[in-house]
Structure 1
Amino acid sequence: MDRSFYQFALSYRGGGKNEVNAIFAEAMFNDLSFPKDEKHFDSLSRYVEDKADPNMPSIVFDELYAHYEDQFL
């Protein structure tokens, strides 16, 4: 399956309000400028770091991307 990171991470939306993956996914969904078609770690990581949104911490991104890699890359 050819899914972008954005499509993968959306599967975490709707989780518990204290679940870091769900919080990240919700913030990502609400960020209209998030690169929705991107699949590459470097581009996504740079975006997350430059954005510096407290609801999208890079440590959570790194963990989510590792799961994404395991399943889709």
Structure 2
Amino acid sequence: MNRSFYRFALSFRGGVKGDMKAVFAEKMYNDHSFPREEKKFDPLSRYIEEKADFEMSTAIFDELYKQYEERFL
């Protein structure tokens, strides 16, 4: 399947309160400048580090990206 990271991460939206993956997904969804079609780690990581909301943790991103990579890449 040719799915972007954004589409994958949205599946965590609406999770249990306090679940950091759900928080990440919600913040990502509300960030209208998030690179929604991107699939590659480096551009996404750079965006998270430089432009994303502080609640979009790089550690959570790394965890989500690893799951994304195992499933779709």
Question: Could you say what the CA RMSD is over the residues aligned between the two structures, in angstroms?
Answer: 0.7
Runs of 4+ in 1 over 2 A off after TM superposition: none
Cα shift at 1:28: 0.0
Unaligned 5+ residue runs, structure 2? Answer: none
Structure 1 residue 54, shift from structure 2 partner: 1.9
Which residue does 2:18 correspond to in 1? 18
TM-score, scaled relative to structure 2: 0.97
What residue number does 2:6 align with?
A: 6
Q: TM-score, normalised by structure 1?
A: 0.97
Q: Unpaired segments of 5 or more residues in structure 1?
A: none
Q: Aligned ranges for residues 1-73 of structure 1 at < 5 Å? A: 1-73=1-73
Q: Identity, % of aligned pairs?
A: 62
Could you tell me which amino acid in structure 2 is paired with residue 13 of structure 1?
Answer: R
How many residues align? The count is 73
